[in-house]
Structure 1
Amino acid sequence: MSTIRITKQFSFETGHALYGYDGKCKNVHGHSYKLSVTVVGTPISDTSNVKYGMVIDFGDLKKIVKEEIVDVFDHATVFNKNTPHIELAKELQVRGHHVILVDYQPTSEMMIIDFAAKIRQHLPETIQLHSLKLQETDTSYAEWYASDNS
């Protein structure tokens, strides 16, 4: 049986600020992120399996990514908890805002590393995460490939 890659795309809105950065992104701002998740596997060959012919049901992949990434990050503001932004984060939380504190600079590069780890933990053993693409703007994105990170 052939090895096949399948991709599902997601979108979510997230705010962030890059503490210590020397450009505009030091200010709190947001992006309409687009996340493409590609997994690789062999289509199920058991004709009695309801998912016969699928590498993974797109609905199952969607459930993983929505629970681990989209539902968590959508309409949240992300700050590095190891910076003075922690004070701003606390103030926003007190005022009822959805804030995520991470232990990294919330760049697309670092977020995609975090996303890869979270998605990998929940994939079935027969499915491998192949790649992620996190698009921050129409012209800027980060990519993560399993082959670069083994």
Structure 2
Amino acid sequence: MGTIRITKQFSFETGHALYGYDGKCKNVHGHSYKLSVTVIGKPIDDTNHVKHGMVIDFGDLKKIVKSEIVDVFDHATVFNKNTPHVELAKELEDRGHNVLLVNYQPTSEMMVIDFAKKIKKHLPEHITLHSLKLQETETSFAEWYASDNTSL
């Protein structure tokens, strides 16, 4: 059987602010993110296997991405924990807001790198993460490709 790429799409709402940035995105704001996750592998050719013909069950891929990304980032506000935004984060948390403190500037570029690491840890051995596309707005997105990131 041939090698096949399959893609599952997800969406979530997340707020963030870019500390030290020289434009509008230094202010807390949010996006309706769209995440496309593409994996690559060979369809299961065992006719007795319950998932015969599948590279991976879309439901299994959904469980991974929902638990690692969507359920964590949806309706959260993300700040770089290595900046003074931690004070704002503390204030928001004290008021009952869902705040994530990450080790990076929460740009689409850095988020997609983080997402790739998290998803790869949970994929079955015979499945490879091929690419991620994180769309921040209708016209702006960041892409991660395994072929460009052999060290991850």
Query: What interval of TM-score do these two structures reach, taking the shorter chain for normalisation?
Result: over 0.9
1:128 maps onto 2:128 in alignment: yes
Which residue of structure 2 lines up, in the alignment, with residue 11 of structure 1?
11
- Identity of aligned pairs, percent? 85
CA-based RMSD of the aligned residues comes to 0.2
Which residue of structure 1 lines up, in the alignment, with residue 78 of structure 2?
78
1:75-132 deviation line (CA, Å, top 9, x unaligned): 0000000000000000100111000000100000000000000000000000000000
Please give the TM-score of this superposition, normalised by the length of structure 1.
1.00
1:12-47 deviation line (CA, Å, top 9, x unaligned): 000000000000000000000000000000000010
Which residue of structure 1 lines up, in the alignment, with residue 61 of structure 2?
61
Aligned structure 1 segments of 4 or more residues deviating by more than 4 angstroms: none
In structure 1, the gaps of 5 or more residues are none
Cα distance in 2 for residues equivalent to 1:5 and 1:103: 31
Structure 1 residue 64 displacement after superposition: 0.2
Which residue of structure 2 lines up, in the alignment, with residue 148 of structure 1?
148
Residue 21 of structure 2 aligns to a residue in which SS?
coil
Please give the TM-score of this superposition, normalised by the length of structure 2.
0.98
Cα distance in 2 for residues equivalent to 1:81 and 1:89: 9
In structure 2, the gaps of 5 or more residues are none
1:90 maps onto 2:90 in alignment: yes
Which residue of structure 1 lines up, in the alignment, with residue 31 of structure 2?
31
